Amino acid sequence: MTSSAASRAIPLSTHTVVMLVIAAVAGLFAFLWPFFFNPDAVLVGDRSGATTAPLVCGLVLFLVTGLLLVQVTGGDLDVKALAMLGVLTAAGAVIRPLGAGAAGLETVFFLLILAGRAFGPGFGFALGSLALLASAFITAGFGPWLPYQMIAAGFVGLGAGLLPARRPNERGEIVLLGVYGAAVSFVFGFLMDLAFWPFLYGSGNQAGFDPTLPWWENLHTFAVVTAVTSLGWNIGRAVTTVVLIALLGPGLLRIFRRAARRARWSEK
């Protein structure tokens, strides 16, 4: 085995890194839009703006994700990386609906994390966003939520590729990935809920978003709402991810790394 934990199936150029950073910031803005929202803004057609803001943010994110995908998969993309991307995207799209029926089962994060770890951040990002896009293709799930999911999943995979490369032993590596998986499960749930909280709850009630209140009041309301309604889901997502990483992590990492060796990505 090579000393580095992650090979670089998709090398990242400086331009790509700059765009990823911009996208990360833009994405964070888009997820946290209720806090930056101005009730007097142009796009606010009605009293709350709650219905248009996520759509505008969604469109921006869609553009951002699209451009990122163009940039990440452009340039020096190896045909083997593209084929691997396609095949693992299929895997993600196939296993994702398995968890959709049951509460809090999140069956795709472990794959993104393990692949991001084995094949590097660029691949992790592309796989994360493409897996959710392909899943939308299969389940007819295009909507304003899709760009949010795509960019979030993309960064889940990317982050896994950026984890410290040194690994003392297999067990240590799995623990590291498991902790990361649990953390992103919570963050992902929190951000998705926040972005669609005004959308789903409206603003005419006390659990909803009120654009006239200062942001900390809204955050307080949201914290209460999310603790009551979504904590169980988030715990479920984290537990599934950790269990799947513990169970399948060693085997999948072995398979992925063998493939990376065969495709000679580790040398790059």
Partner 1 sequence: MITFDDVTIGYEGRAVLGPISLTIPEGDLCLVVGRTGTGKSTFLGAINGLVPWFTGAEMSGRVSVGGLDTRSHRPPDLATVVGYVAQNPLAGFVTDRVEDEIAYGMEQLGVAPTAMRTRVEEALDLMGIAPLRRRALAELSGGQQQRVAIAAVLAAQPRVLVLDEPTSALDPTAAHDVLASIVSLVHEAGLTVVIAEHRLERVMDVADTVVWLHRSNTDPGSIAEIGDPPTILTHADITPPLAALAHRLGWEKTPRSVRSARRQVARERIIISVDEDGRAPSSSPPSDSQSTDPVARMTGVTVAYGALTALDHIDLALAAGTVTALMGRNGSGKSSLLWALQGALASTGDIIVDRDDPRSVSAARARSLVALVPQTPADLLYLPTVGEECDQADRESDVPAGTTAALLQQLGLDLDPAQAPADLSEGQRLGLVLAIQLSSRPAVVALDEPTRGLDYTMKDHLRGLLRGLAVQGIAVVVATHDVEFVAATADRVVVLAEGEIVADGDTRSICAGSVTLSPQVAKVMWPKRVLTIDELVVAHRDESTREPGDSPAEPAVAR
Partner 2 sequence: MSRLLTRPVDFARAAPAEEAPLDSGARPLSLIALALRRPVPPLVWWAWALSGAVVASLTTNVVLLTLIAAVMVATMLARRGTGPWARAVKAYLILAAVIVIIRVGLQMVLGSLRSGRVLFTLPEVHLPAWVQGIRLGGPVTLDGVALAFADAWRLAVMIICLGAANVLANPRGTLRAMPAVLHRVSTALAIAMAVAPQFIESAARIRRARRLRGGAGTGWRSVRGVLLPVVEDAVDRSISLAAGMEARGYGAHSSAGVTTPGTRVWATVSASTTRSGAQSGRSMTPVGRREEPITGNRGGDRSERMVPLVLVAGLLATIIGAFGLLGLPAARSLMWAVPLLVVGLAACFAALVVAGHQTHVTRYRPERIGPRDVVILVSALAVVGLAVALSRLIGGVMDPAVTPVTWPPFNVGFLVVAGLLAVPLLVTRAPDEGGVR
By the criterion CB under 8 A, which residues form the site for partner 1?
79, 251, 254-255, 258, 264
Q: Please state the closest distance from residue 213 (CB atom) to partner 2, in A.
A: 10
Of the pair 172, 215, the CB lying nearest partner 2 is at 215
Alpha carbons within 13 angstroms on the beta-carbon side of residue 118 total 28
Of the pair 47, 258, the CB lying nearest partner 1 is at 258
For 159-191, give the DSSP string.
HHHHS-S--SSHHHHHHHHHHHHHHHHHHHHHH
191 touches partner 2 by CB under 8 A: no
CB-count burial class (<10 Å; 0-12, 13-18, 19+) for 43: exposed
| Piece of the chain touching partner 2 by CB under 8 A; list 132-140, 147-155, 161-169, 180-188 | 132-140
Q: Please state the closest distance from residue 175 (CB atom) to partner 2, in A.
A: 18
Of the pair 43, 83, the CB lying nearest partner 1 is at 83
Q: Please state the closest distance from residue 137 (CB atom) to partner 1, in A.
A: 12
Between CA 100 and CA 52 the distance in angstroms is 27
Between CA 252 and CA 264 the distance in angstroms is 18
**Residue 36 is which amino acid?**
F
Q: 207 with 225: CB under 8 angstroms?
A: yes
Q: Both ends of the chain: CA-CA distance in Å?
A: 15
43 touches partner 2 by CB under 8 A: yes
Q: Please state the closest distance from residue 262 (CB atom) to partner 1, in A.
A: 9
Q: Is 11 left (phi over 0), alpha (psi -120 to 50) or beta?
A: beta
Binds 165: which of partner 2, partner 1, none (CB < 5-8 Å by kind): none
Binds 1: which of partner 1, partner 2, none (CB < 5-8 Å by kind): none
214 touches partner 2 by CB under 8 A: no
Q: 111 with 131: CB under 8 angstroms?
A: yes
Of the pair 229, 266, the CB lying nearest partner 1 is at 266
Binding to partner 2, residues 142-181 (CB under 8 A): 142-144
Binds 202: which of partner 1, partner 2, none (CB < 5-8 Å by kind): partner 2
Binds 143: which of partner 1, partner 2, none (CB < 5-8 Å by kind): partner 2
13 touches partner 2 by CB under 8 A: yes
Between CA 108 and CA 120 the distance in angstroms is 17
